[in-house]
Amino acid sequence: MLNIVLIAGSPGIPSRVATAADHVAWRLQEQGATTATFDVNAFDPAALLYADTESPAIRQYLARVAEADAIVIATPVYQSSFSGVLKLLLDPIPQNGLRNKIALPIASGGSPNHLLVLDYALTPVLSALGADSILNGVYVTSSELSRTETGYRIGEAIRARLDDAATELHTRLVGVANAATPASTYRGARDAATLIRRAAG
Ligand SMILES: Cc1cc2nc3c(=O)[nH]c(=O)nc-3n(C[C@H](O)[C@H](O)[C@H](O)COP(=O)(O)O)c2cc1C
């Protein structure tokens, strides 16, 4: 069974980007995958702040990340970059901890102007963690979600983009599992390893 970990990096409750990530998780579950979502509320703040890898919650989190076939990282845009909370959640992951995993980034910003956060902020950190390949991410602007009494409701257009991203991730994982869709022939992804090789000449 496909096993996917979602890391939601907003300190907000409720959170727009966590709502988007929840939708992707739900779609993946519909397609038969197992998902686990981690956000800042899953941890003792001191353990997270000091990257205490002996803390039971962080150990369990790292074990789930290690077992995952894919990682979805979700962050609000803060000061034109990803949030500090997302960084706290990524820092305990060991070097190359995302090796052999596919990554899907999701970002939510107040304006569409920071769309490239997906490329200039999230792609490098996912590459540094060794992600095998990084799918084209989804950028959500705040106005694409409406506030409800209990949280946020996602609009139709963004719902369709999130559905497409979840399907793309699932298709890619099934392809890898069956070795029927090798990573190098897949058109919808940016292959981090290939990019690094090209950059290195
Ligand atoms: C401290 C802070 C910094 C922000 N910086 C940006 C920014 O640089 N660019 C942007 O488009 N939105 C910025 N925003 C708006 C959030 O990215 C946006 O409201 C996002 O949808 C919040 O997601 P959340 O509800 O999951 O936390 C900022 C918000 C805060 C609180």
Tokens of 16: 């727009």
Q: How far is the centre of ligand 1, averaged over its atoms, from the C-alpha of 108 (Å)?
A: 7
Terminal-to-terminal C-alpha distance of the chain: 38
Q: Looking at 22-26, 144-148, 187-191, 192-196, which range is the least confident one?
A: 187-191
To the question of pTM greater than 0.85 for the whole model, the response is yes
The residue among 134, 143, 141 whose CA lies nearest residue 193 is 134
CATH number at residue 99: 3.40.50.360
Is residue 76 within 8 A of residue 107, CB to CB? The reply is: yes
Å from CA of 193 to ligand 1 middle: 30
How many Cα atoms sit within 13 Å of 72 on the Cβ side?
35
CA 10 to mean position of chain CA atoms: 12
Give the mean pLDDT of the chain: 90
**Structural domain of 73:** 3-200
Pocket flag, ligand 1, residue 92 (CB < 6 Å):
no
Read off the pLDDT of residues 173-198 as tens digits, 9 standing for 90 and up: 998 888 754 444 333 334 444 444 44
**Ligand 1 atom 1, closest CA:** 78
How many domains does the structure of the chain reveal?
1
